[in-house]
Amino acid sequence: MKSDASVRAWYRPMRARRRDEAHRAATPLELFFDLCFVVAVALASEGLHHDVAEGHVGHGLVSYLSVFFAIWWAWVNFTWFASAYDTDDDVYRLTALVQIAGALILAAGVPRAFGEADFTTITYGYVVMRLAAMVNWLRAAAGDPAHRATALTFAVGVGVVQAGWLLRLLLPPAWLMPAFVVLVVADLLVPVLGERRRQTSWHPHHIAERYQLFTLIVLGEAVLSTSVAIQRGVDAGNGQLWSLAAAGTLIVFAIWWLYFDRPDPLPPASVRGALTWGYGHYFVFSSIAAVGAGLAVAVDHDLHAGHASARVAGYAVAVPVAVYLVALWALHLPAKRGVGRVLFPAAAALVLLAPWLFAPVDLIAGVLVALVAVTLVLRHRTATRTA
């Protein structure tokens, strides 16, 4: 009996889990996986902050979006696979740890990607993660005959695209960006082709919880920037930073409130809806982390520690906040009617006007607080009418 239990702990056939499984929650391994991504997100946010503060806005934006794609896409693929096939045997744990090691390699390459436009280390870390994922898909193909075609499509697709990422390192500089775009599209097409063969059995509540947890990770960057503003204000005796810290705190609180507004949003059941929901969160996650970078730029401007103008510093906060509002409106609020249908885009437009006025970060905070208040009133009215 003990021998059989030991074998089951080492290796279990990788069969699809049920979509209606009760009490499905994030595992300690998934939480550990998320924790290791904190470093990569923090370094990407810091790279964006440094470039914008020094006046290199275009370079910083391209580098940030490219680096964040690698971070986000590796996390997304691990998350959705685990939702459908997590066996928690020793082999699965080892492949997850390999993916975590790849995430740490990826994080180590972020500073060089921003400073020298050298994505070699990031590519190696990314490929390590994705090849470990390919092993898991091969296990799924062997253990789940019903989804074998889907699993093999994923395994072959991941392998081919990773070969493309490695070959990209051999290209001349002029071809690197076009090749990057082509490979990003190829990576995004793999789940489209795989899920159309037969949809995997990911758990909607589990996926929603996992996305909420990653939202908290990227929110941590904005919290850190707010804390730094307070600390630097105390050290410099600059009272203006206290106002900026208060505004940053309100912005972070509002972003959290709007994402976690009740009821919790679930990904659509259809393949097209789930892909749109999952892919669209790239803009939610990347914009939240960029808010932290923008607040840091605003602190630098107030302390005269950077080269960004007042308007650039304002837009460093306004643009990611506006992107967040539009992305959240598109993904989580499709059923809104009346005023609710235009509320978030209108708030985004007001946010983009703030850098042309006095104290833009304070104004952005005011718009977000007003948006939270209006959404609460509308939700209360809807609930009252329904009752």
The domain that contains 327 carries what CATH number?
Answer: 1.20.1410
Are 371 and 224 found together in one domain? yes
221 and 335 both lie in a single domain: yes
Residue written as token pair 């703030």? 354
Question: Rounded to two decimals, what is the model's pTM?
Answer: 0.91
Q: Are residues 225 and 183 in the same domain?
A: no
Is residue 251 in some structural domain?
yes
Instruction: Mark which of 158, 178, 197 sits at the end of a domain.
Output: 197
Please tell me whether residue 258 adopts helix, strand or coil conformation: helix
3-state class (DSSP) for residue 379: helix
Are 266 and 325 in a shared domain? yes
Same domain? For 47 and 63 the reply is yes
- Are the C-beta atoms of residues 227 and 252 closer than 8 Å to each other? no
Q: Is residue 9 part of a domain?
A: no
Residue 322's nearest CA partner among 351, 357, 285, 361 is 351
DSSP 8-state secondary structure symbol assigned to residue 316: H
Is 116 part of any domain?
A: yes
Q: Output the tens digit of pLDDT for each of the chain's 387 residues.
A: 444 544 456 777 888 888 888 888 899 999 999 988 888 999 999 999 999 998 899 999 999 999 999 999 999 999 999 999 988 889 999 999 999 999 999 999 999 999 888 899 999 999 999 999 999 999 999 999 999 999 999 999 999 999 999 999 999 999 999 999 999 999 999 999 999 888 999 999 999 999 999 999 999 888 887 787 778 777 777 667 788 888 999 999 999 999 998 666 788 888 888 999 999 999 999 999 999 999 999 988 888 887 888 899 999 999 999 999 999 998 876 656 666 678 899 999 999 999 999 889 999 999 999 999 998 888 877 767 665
**pLDDT at residue 2, rounded to an integer:** 47
How many distinct structural domains can be found in the chain?
2
Give kind and range of the element (H or E) at residue 255: helix 240-259
Given 145, 178, 197, the domain boundary residue is: 197
Q: Are residues 158 and 219 located together in one domain of the fold?
A: no
- Is residue 40 located within the same domain as residue 67? yes
Residue that terminates a domain, selected from 146, 180, 197: 197
In a domain, 7, yes or no: no
Phi (first) and psi of residue 112, to 5 degrees:
-70, -30
271: which 2 tokens? 């393949």
Residues 167 and 241 in one domain: no
- Claim to verify: residue 184 and residue 218 sit in the same structural domain: no
If you search the block for the tokens 């062997």, which residue do you land on? 142
Residue-number span of the structural domain to which 343 is assigned: 204-386
Instruction: Please check whether residues 101 and 166 belong to one and the same domain.
Output: yes
Could you give the C-alpha distances from 73 to 147, 268, 328, in angstroms and in order?
22, 19, 19
Q: Verify that 177 and 70 share a domain, yes or no.
A: yes
- Using alpha carbons, list the distances in angstroms from residue 137 to 83, 95, 140, 144: 13, 11, 5, 10
The answer to whether residue 277 sits within a structural domain is yes
| Co-location of 169 and 268 in the same domain | no
